């Protein structure tokens, strides 16, 4: 996707829970090669800082492992953003 869309950036917000004992940030840097500068990793943010990011996004992807009520999903939809969410959490398919 990054190769075919040179203006596309991916913004990751929240705790880096990693994969197989490695930080996801390291895995992404390794696998994305030349596209690494277009990946942006941010810590958890207060709503005032998160809303502008969501409002200007093309899509919101929420791969949550657990979420009792998908407030972030509802907020993204309230900002008219399409949402892709993980099944089996607070965002049923």
- Quick: pLDDT tens for 11-35: 988 888 888 999 989 999 999 989 9
pLDDT in tens, 31-88: 998 999 999 999 988 888 988 998 999 998 887 666 655 677 888 889 899 988 877 6
Whether the Cβ atoms of residue 39 and residue 10 lie closer than 8 Å to each other = yes
Indicate left, alpha or beta for 57 from its phi (over 0: left) and psi (-120 to 50: alpha).
beta
pLDDT in tens, 54-68: 899 999 888 766 665
Give the pLDDT score at 51.
Answer: 87
- For helices 71-78 and 47-55, the axis angle rounded to 10 degrees is 50
Give the pLDDT score at 43.
Answer: 92
Whether this model's pTM surpasses 0.85? no
């Amino acid at each position: 996707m990054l190769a075919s869309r040179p203006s596309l950036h991916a913004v990751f917000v929240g705790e880096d829970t990693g994969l197989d004992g490695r930080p996801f940030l390291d895995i992404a840097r390794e696998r994305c090669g030349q596209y690494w500068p277009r990946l942006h990793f941010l810590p958890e943010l207060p709503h005032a800082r998160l809303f502008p990011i969501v409002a200007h996004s093309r899509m919101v992807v929420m791969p949550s492992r657990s979420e009792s009520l998908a407030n972030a999903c509802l907020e993204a939809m309230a900002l008219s953003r399409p949402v892709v969410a993980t099944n089996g959490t607070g965002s049923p398919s």
